[in-house]
Homo-oligomer: A and B are copies of this chain.
Amino acid sequence: MRQSGRSTDVDSLATGLARDRFPLLARTIGDRPLHYLDTAATSQKPEAVLAALAHFYRHQNANVHRGLNTLAEEATEAYERCRRRVAGWVGAPDAAGVVITRGATSSLNLLAHGLEHLLLPGDEILLTEMEHHANLVPWQMLARRRGLQLRFIPVRDDGELDLDRLPELLGERTRVVSLVHASNVLGTVNPVAEVADRSRQRGILTVVDAAQSAGHLPLDFAAVGADFLVFSAHKAYGPMGLGFLVARPEALERLEPLEGGGEMIEWVDLESSTWAEVPRRFEAGTPNVAAAAAFPAAIDLIEELGAPAIRRHEAAVTAYALDCLQDLGGLTIYGPADSERRGGLVSFWDPLVHPHDLSTILDRHGVVVRAGHHCAQPLHRRLGVPATTRASFGLYTRRDDIDALIEGIRDARKVFAR
């Protein structure tokens, strides 16, 4: 049941939010204006983030922590400020629980290795059928190393998780539950707080993959009640090469470090070493200080606009897109029908035009979408299609981006109907 749609426009639908602060959106593809509908793959960056990045390299560039001088201290402060800002932004109780990584994928691999020593052969890890490969393959590798069983919460035909199965899936041997907050294919927003709550009652650790929700949905680590939360900066209007693992410091204490090297140690002998405190223990080597220095500018923007306003805007764009795609007819649209129950993206299958052909033709219209399995091959097998076309939205997306998408699909259908 569609609740909102063309009729429930919020004001921002026509203009996007803060769109003029994103320089790349002014570019063209051939002679067409760009319509960027691939924010779920990576978001565009506001001017303020680029300025902060340039400022760092022009004025503060130095390595962190090891320095006893003004420059290194400014760089260290910029780096640690990012940690504090992220903690405050996502509602983490303590900045010492925020590990700075190179992205969500690295955060999840850090976890899958870090928990290994706590698990025994036969233990179970519960995932879902809608996971991105980043929240699947690291656990498969762990399962193989350690002789574990993977279990999966099924996806219902309406795109929601079948949580009725949860009691039977949360078994005696279940040690970890890891699930996506907002699916990068279905859009489904999962009830992560509920899952975390039911897991905690049984002493099971919960991991939330917030790669698609950070910067898009209001996020509150403490309220979710999970043990670990991961996301990438680059999908939340920040720079590439930066991500986070958020936890309580005590939870981090339980993890073994994955990478060894400088900065993560305390005492090093030739034969053995001891680790530094958390979170430094997980940050071997020179971090991406420049990216960390720049990301707070993205958080500033998100907080300036307000997470609820961004959410309302993306829901309005999604409702409009769902309506328009529905009107085209003949498409299979995946995920919840209600835009309130989903993040800012729509994936679909057009039996008349293969997703690859569609995305090539859309490119001629200046419309950037993604076609493929979106790093979720098992989910696509569940859906029964080799690939889908995905349009995904950000705070800057506006009605004419969707209109151009629809026009492009019409054109593609014309081409293939000739």
Interface residues of A (CB under 8 A from B): 23-24, 27, 29-30, 34, 36, 38, 41-42, 44-45, 49-50, 53-54, 57-63, 66-72, 102-106, 108-109, 112, 129, 132-134, 136-138, 140-141, 144, 150, 152, 232, 234, 239-242, 258-265, 267-273, 284-291, 356, 359-360, 362-363, 368-372, 374-375, 377-378, 381
Contacts and interface: CB of A to CB of B under 8 A. Distances in A.
Given A284-B105, A362-B69, A291 B240 contact: yes
Contact of A262 (B134, B260, B267): B134
A237 to B, nearest CB: 11
B54 A38 contact: no
B368 A270 contact: no
Contacts of A371: 68
Nearest to A42: B63
A1 to B, nearest CB: 31
A363 B273 CA distance: 31
How many monomers of this chain does the complex have? 2
A78 B386 CA distance: 28
28 contacts: A23-B57, A38-B71, A38-B72, A41-B63, A53-B53, A66-B372, A67-B368, A68-B359, A102-B285, A105-B262, A105-B286, A106-B259, A106-B285, A109-B261, A132-B261, A133-B268, A136-B260, A136-B273, A137-B265, A138-B261, A150-B270, A152-B270, A232-B285, A232-B286, A241-B242, A241-B288, A262-B375, A269-B377
